[in-house]
């Protein structure tokens, strides 16, 4: 933009033999005039200049009335203090002319020290130049709008692609936080939610160098943080400049170790089904947001709400339909989905993850010699025993009649194996069916992350291999025992 405007201003300055020619554009974000380009012989002209819309002498007057002002020497001397773009007063100016460009969008300023004002022909040249600048300014704004719309559409397209491929709500939330933070050049972004019946908010996505301790901290609704108060009031919030000296200026909880200067923007959303949902953007420096920037982020947040609500319904559907009817544990498909999400969360948060598979034998033999009615009683007793003795926080899935699996996110493998050993002792003591001296034996396969793998497939295959080895080892020992008995009898 600058070279094109500069060439026009240079041409006008040379034709008029002017002292200064300057082109100003109104900056709606800062509510002031910004010096776009100039040609001047003055040593007092500020090279980088932004003037307030009101209180800038002749420029403000011309912008307000919308008419050209042309002054001769005597009149200029009266208005010498009305030229705020000179660092010091300029002497010897014999005439000046200020005219609007493109209505209220810009101003063209021309002064001279050679002539007593500008004659009709020179004024015509100045006005023609103003019209050329108007056309160039219109082209520039169209290009700027095209670039802005392109950025917005790119943001929406990329986010929707990410959400479509997302394997979990956490991954989708992370994409929203990172995408919006990058778009507005914010240093931090936070996505928080609160269940309808809950009294605290939790973080579901974040961008920037956020303290990990904060991300794992439940935030009470009465914490008095700026973000929480805005969400509880169901009102958006924009603070252009936070006060770093205020002890009350914290976003979530006191002592959160986040920068408390710059700008804060909070968008609120959610629904009766979702509960409150909020997006907070924090910058270390002051954010300059255009209307297009606001629309881009706000619409991204609304589109995300639709995706998020869809995931909520999917989760609710899974809760209703993806549990085993006899035990209440997760079905094989639901448990596998849960493990995949847990693996992704463990990778994101650098947490340990453990999986244990339990298989009870001799189940096939029991099915052949025990009536189904008695076997069902034994099966229900086994499942009830698991319910009573599995600690909270461990996810249980029923993979088959005689096979279950345990998942622990954030816990150590030795703790999960201790639970499995306790279940082995408990289930081994369950009373068997009538007239049959059968006792359940528990075989265990296990895997942990990251030692045994960092994907669902790797972990599951390792656990199944170890379960197979345990079963094969028991069968081999049994066969060797039977051979030894035959030799003794012979």
Residue 399: which domain range? 322-489
Among the residue ranges 44-53, 95-104, 169-178, the one predicted with the least confidence is 44-53
- Domain boundary residue among 318, 337, 371? 318
Summarised one tens digit per residue, pLDDT across range 134-161 is 999 999 889 988 999 999 999 999 999 9
Q: Are 124 and 99 contacting, i.e. CB atoms less than 8 angstroms apart?
A: no
- What is the domain-level CATH number for residue 404? 3.30.70.270
Do 359 and 457 fall within a single domain? yes
Helix (H, G, I), strand (E, B), or coil: what is residue 461?
helix
Does the pLDDT at position 482 exceed 70? no
Tokens of 193: 């939610």
Predicted local confidence at residue 75, as pLDDT: 67
Do 281 and 170 fall within a single domain? yes
Q: Give the mean model confidence (pLDDT) for residues 389-415.
A: 90
- Domain boundary residue among 283, 318, 353? 318
Asked if residue 475 is part of any domain, the answer here is: yes
Distance CA 264, CA 256 (A): 15
Do 384 and 417 fall within a single domain? yes
Asked if residue 155 is part of any domain, the answer here is: no
Summarised one tens digit per residue, pLDDT across range 167-183 is 788 889 999 999 999 99
Do 194 and 105 fall within a single domain? no
Q: Return phi, psi of residue 347, to 5°.
A: -65, -40
Do 342 and 274 fall within a single domain? no
Does the pLDDT at position 78 exceed 70? no
Do 370 and 308 fall within a single domain? no
Helix (H, G, I), strand (E, B), or coil: what is residue 139?
helix
Asked if residue 279 is part of any domain, the answer here is: yes
- Residue 283: which pLDDT band, with cuts at 50, 70 and 90? very high
Distance CA 3, CA 61 (A): 28
Tokens of 477: 């020992």
Omega of the bond leading into 111 within 30 degrees of 0 (cis): no
Distance CA 149, CA 143 (A): 10
Do 326 and 473 fall within a single domain? yes
- Domain boundary residue among 318, 352, 373? 318
Does the pLDDT at position 468 exceed 70? yes
Asked if residue 30 is part of any domain, the answer here is: yes
Summarised one tens digit per residue, pLDDT across range 230-250 is 999 989 999 998 888 777 778
Do 314 and 373 fall within a single domain? no
Asked if residue 170 is part of any domain, the answer here is: yes
Q: How far is CA 140 from the centre of its chain?
A: 32
Asked if residue 339 is part of any domain, the answer here is: yes
Asked if residue 480 is part of any domain, the answer here is: yes
Does the pLDDT at position 257 exceed 70? yes
Sheet strand arrangement including 69-71: 50-52, 32-40, 20-27, 106-112, 95-101, 69-71
Do 235 and 352 fall within a single domain? no
Do 259 and 299 fall within a single domain? yes
The DSSP bridge pattern shows strands 200-207 and 403-409 to be unpaired
Do 266 and 326 fall within a single domain? no
Mean pLDDT of the chain: 86
Asked if residue 346 is part of any domain, the answer here is: yes
Predicted local confidence at residue 460, as pLDDT: 95
Distance CA 396, CA 329 (A): 6
Do 104 and 245 fall within a single domain? no
> How many domains, the chain?
3
Helix or strand run (H / E) with residue 445: strand 441-449
- What is the domain-level CATH number for residue 43? 3.30.450.40
């Amino acid at each position: 933009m600058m070279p094109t405007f500069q060439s026009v201003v240079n041409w006008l300055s040379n034709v008029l033999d002017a002292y200064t020619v300057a082109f100003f554009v109104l900056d709606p974000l800062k509510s002031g005039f910004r010096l776009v380009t100039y040609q001047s012989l003055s040593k007092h002209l500020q090279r980088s200049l932004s003037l307030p819309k009101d209180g800038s002498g002749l420029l403000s007057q011309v912008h307000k009335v919308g008419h050209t002002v042309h002054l001769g020497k005597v009149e200029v001397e009266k208005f010498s203090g009305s030229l705020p773009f000179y660092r010091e007063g300029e002497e010897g100016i014999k005439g000046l002319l200020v005219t609007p460009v493109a209505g209220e969008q810009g101003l063209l300023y021309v002064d001279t020290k050679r002539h007593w004002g500008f004659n009709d022909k020179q004024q015509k040249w100045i006005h023609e130049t103003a019209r050329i600048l108007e056309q160039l300014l219109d082209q520039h704004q169209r290009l700027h709008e095209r670039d802005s719309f392109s950025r917005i559409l790119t943001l929406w397209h990329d986010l929707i692609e990410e959400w479509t491929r997302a394997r979990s709500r956490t991954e989708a939330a992370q994409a929203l936080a990172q995408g919006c933070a990058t778009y507005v050049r914010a240093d931090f972004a936070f996505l928080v939610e609160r269940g309808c019946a809950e009294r605290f908010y939790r973080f579901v996505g974040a961008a920037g160098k956020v303290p990990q301790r904060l991300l794992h901290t439940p935030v009470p609704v009465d914490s008095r943080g700026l973000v929480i108060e805005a969400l509880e009031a169901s009102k958006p919030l924009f603070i252009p400049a936070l006060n770093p000296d205020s002890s009350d200026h914290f976003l979530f909880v006191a002592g959160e170790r986040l920068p408390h200067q710059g700008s804060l923007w909070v968008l609120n959303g959610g629904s009766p089904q979702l509960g409150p949902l909020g997006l907070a953007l924090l910058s270390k420096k002051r954010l300059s947001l255009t209307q297009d920037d606001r629309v881009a982020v706000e619409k991204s947040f609304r589109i995300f709400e639709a995706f998020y609500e869809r995931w909520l319904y999917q989760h609710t559907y899974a809760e209703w339909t993806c549990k085993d009817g006899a035990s209440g544990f997760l079905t094989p498909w639901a448990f596998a989905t849960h493990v995949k999400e847990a693996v992704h969360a463990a990778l994101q948060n650098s947490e340990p993850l453990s999986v244990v598979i339990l298989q009870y034998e001799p189940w096939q033999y029991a099915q052949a010699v025990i009536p189904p009615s008695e076997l069902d009683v034994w099966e229900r007793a086994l499942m009830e025993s698991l319910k009573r003795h599995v600690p909270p926080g461990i996810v249980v899935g029923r993979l088959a009649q005689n096979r279950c699996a345990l998942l622990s996110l954030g816990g150590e493998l030795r703790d999960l194996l201790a639970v499995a050993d306790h279940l082995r002792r408990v289930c081994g003591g369950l009373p068997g069916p009538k007239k049959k001296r059968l006792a359940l034996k528990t075989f265990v396969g296990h895997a942990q992350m990251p030692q045994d793998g960092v994907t669902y497939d790797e972990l599951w295959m390792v656990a199944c291999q170890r379960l197979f080895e345990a079963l094969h080892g028991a069968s081999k020992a049994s066969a060797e025992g039977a051979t030894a008995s035959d030799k003794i009898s012979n």
